[in-house]
Chain A
Amino acid sequence: MHHTLMILVVAVITAALRLLPVMFFGRESRVIPPSLMYLSRVLPSAIVSLLVIYSLRSMSFIILSSWLPAISGVIMAALLHQWKRNTLLSVFGSTACYMLLTRML
């Protein structure tokens, strides 16, 4: 029961975050303030950086078995993607690298 409630909370809040701006600013003839238009152009790139840091938030710089696999995985993803520009290869290869290292250390 608690799990169901948790999922509902996540779903409702996520839905609200997505619906509110589109239904509000998306009404025909609604004018969007220039500062918001500007933010909507530049924020996505900034937010993706935040997402990278967010996914690494529990990484410890002190514990080798924590940072070595993670940093290696990130570097591997970057290298693979610069090389082949193939999302599947980059994600698969770096995840495999990470999983291998966590078992070795």
Chain B
Amino acid sequence: MRLRAFKAAFPRTLPVMAGYVFLAIGFGILLGKAGLGLGWALAMSSGIYAGAMQYVTIDLFISAATLWETALMTLMVNARHLFYGISMADKYQSTGKFKPYLALSLTDETYALLAGERVPDGVDHRWYYFFVSALNHLYWVLGSAIGSLIGSALPFDLKGIDFAMTSLFVVIFIEHWQKKSARIPALIGLCSAIICLMLFGPAGFTLPAMGLMCGVLLLMRSGTPIAPKGGM
């Protein structure tokens, strides 16, 4: 039963493995450049396990941010996880002892893999969710370790490698764009983000942007009889 779930989960996670290992290596290297080594990389990737936020945390280390600034930043960058949790809540209702770990390991990519797809027939959904989540987590931790270890050994300078995060988001955006039903929400998100960035500046725009897009999306819903289906 467990093996069947694993066999179903593993191939599904291969695209994420490619992206995560590369991004995590970049993280490990950048963290090393900021003066923090393997132990720190492992701790952050196991305990925080949030790619975008981990990169931002390196920025915060370098700029010697206060704990208060750190907290605010975390709230803004990771607020979207609230909605991932709400979205998966009904699927996770019957997962029993797995629930806390499943919740804690719900990243953008894990959410992308689990939210839109049906669990394959004949497979225990709890083990399937667990293996997808845990494998993605493993790739991330391993990549961070590799990056941390090879970072100082590289002969050339890796300035700009954090662009990998932007690239990954662009790739995910395109994946969403392929689904016609997701285009209007994607555009609403884009416009809300740009407007709020111009109004509030780079440091404080994410929370207003989220408020704006929720407002517009809810207004749209009450205005039309049919809500867009299948966001993922």
Q: A residues bordering B, Cβ < 8 Å?
A: 3, 5-7, 9-11, 13-15, 17-28, 30, 32, 35-36, 38-58, 69-70, 73-74, 77-78, 81-82, 86-88, 90-92, 94-95, 98-99, 102-103
Contacts and interface: CB of A to CB of B under 8 A. Distances in A.
B130 to A, nearest CB: 14
Interface of B: 15-16, 18-19, 22-23, 36, 40, 43-44, 47-50, 52-53, 57, 60-61, 65, 67, 70-71, 74-75, 77-90, 92-95, 99-100, 102-104, 106, 108, 111-112, 115, 158-161, 163-176, 179, 182-183, 185-190, 192-194, 197, 202, 205-206, 209-210, 213-214, 217-218, 221, 227-232
Classify the secondary structure of B's interface with A. Answer: helix
B221 A38 contact: yes
Contact of A18 (B18, B106, B159, B185): B106
Given A22-B88, A48-B189, A77-B170, A94 B163 contact: yes
Please list the 7 inter-chain residue pairs (A to B) with the smallest Cβ-Cβ separation, ordered nearest first: A46-B189, A21-B85, A49-B189, A40-B87, A88-B18, A25-B89, A22-B103
9 contacts: A7-B47, A17-B85, A22-B89, A26-B85, A45-B231, A77-B174, A78-B174, A88-B15, A99-B163
A101 B19 CA distance: 22
